[in-house]
Amino acid sequence: MKDKPDSGQGQSTSDFVPYIPPHEHRPEMTWTAIILGGILAVLFGAANAYLGLIVGMTVSASIPAAVISMAILRGVLRRSSILENNTVQTITSVGESLAAGVIFTVPALFIWKLQPSLTTIAFIALGGGILGIIMMIPLRKALIVKEHGVLPYPEGTACAEVLIAGEKGGGLAKLVFSGLGLGALFKFIADGIKAFPSEIETGIRGFKNAAVGMDTLPALLGVGFIIGPRIAGYMLAGAVLGWLGLIPLISYFGSFASTPIFPATTPISELGFWDIWSDYLRYIGAGAVAFGGIVSLGKALPTIASSFAIAMKGFSITRGSGSNQSGVIRTEQDMPMPYIIALIVILISVLAFFPSINIGIPGALLVILFGFLFVTVSSRIVGIVGSSSNPVSGMTIAALILITVILKLMNFSGQTGMVAAITIGAVICIAAAMAGDTSQDLKTAFLVGATPKYQQYALMYGVFITSLTIGLVLTLLDQAYGFGSKNLPAPQATLMMMVVEGIMNGNLPWTLVFIGMATAALVELMGIGSLPFAVGLYLPIHLSTPIMLGGIIRGIVERREKNEAVRKQKLERGILLSSGFIAGEALMGILIAIVVSMGVTMPENPYFGPLVSLIAFLLVAAILFVTANAKGKKA
SS3 state at 319? coil
| Lowest-confidence segment of 134-143, 154-163, 382-391 by average pLDDT | 382-391
Which pLDDT score is estimated for 1? 35
| Lowest-confidence segment of 59-73, 224-238, 561-575 by average pLDDT | 59-73
| Lowest-confidence segment of 182-186, 240-244, 585-589 by average pLDDT | 585-589
In this structure, the dihedral spanned by the alpha carbons of residues 265, 269, 274 and 279, taken in order and rounded to 10 degrees, is 30
pLDDT over 80 at 616, yes or no:
yes
Q: In the chain, where are the structural domains located?
A: 31-178+337-387+414-491
pLDDT tens digit string along 252-296? 999 998 899 988 889 999 999 999 998 899 889 888 887 887 787
| Lowest-confidence segment of 227-236, 345-354, 372-381, 388-397 by average pLDDT | 388-397
pLDDT tens digit string along 511-551? 998 999 999 999 999 988 787 898 889 888 998 999 999 99
Instruction: Report the alpha-carbon distance of residue 313 to residue 580 in Å, rounded.
Output: 41
More confident: 273 or 155 = 273
Instruction: Report the alpha-carbon distance of residue 161 to residue 67 in Å, rounded.
Output: 11
Longest dimension (CA), the chain: 80
Instruction: Report the alpha-carbon distance of residue 390 to residue 417 in Å, rounded.
Output: 28
pLDDT tens digit string along 332-363? 888 887 888 888 888 888 888 887 777 888 88
Please report, rounded to a whole number, the percentage of residues in the chain having pLDDT higher than 70: 89
Contacts of 578 (CB under 8 A, 6+ apart): 179, 221, 222, 223, 225, 226, 550, 624
Which pLDDT score is estimated for 13? 53
Which pLDDT score is estimated for 469? 93
Instruction: Report the alpha-carbon distance of residue 515 to residue 184 in Å, rounded.
Output: 40
Instruction: Report the alpha-carbon distance of residue 562 to residue 543 in Å, rounded.
Output: 31
Which pLDDT score is estimated for 377? 74
Residue 606 amino acid letter = P
Confidence of residue 308 (pLDDT cuts 50, 70, 90): low
| Lowest-confidence segment of 89-93, 114-118, 305-309, 406-410 by average pLDDT | 305-309
More confident: 587 or 463 = 463
Please report, rounded to a whole number, the percentage of residues in the chain having pLDDT higher than 90: 34
Q: Which of these, 631, 630, 628, 634, lies nearest to 551 by C-alpha position? A: 628
- What residues does 388 pair with on adjacent strands? none
Which pLDDT score is estimated for 321? 46
Which pLDDT score is estimated for 14? 56
pLDDT over 70 at 385, yes or no:
no
Instruction: Report the alpha-carbon distance of residue 373 to residue 111 in Å, rounded.
Output: 29
pLDDT over 70 at 236, yes or no:
yes
Q: Which of these, 248, 239, 285, lies nearest to 268 by C-alpha position? A: 248
CA distances from 100 to 120, 123, 533, 615 (A): 17, 16, 20, 32
Which pLDDT score is estimated for 6? 45
Confidence of residue 633 (pLDDT cuts 50, 70, 90): very low
pLDDT tens digit string along 4-16? 444 444 444 556 7
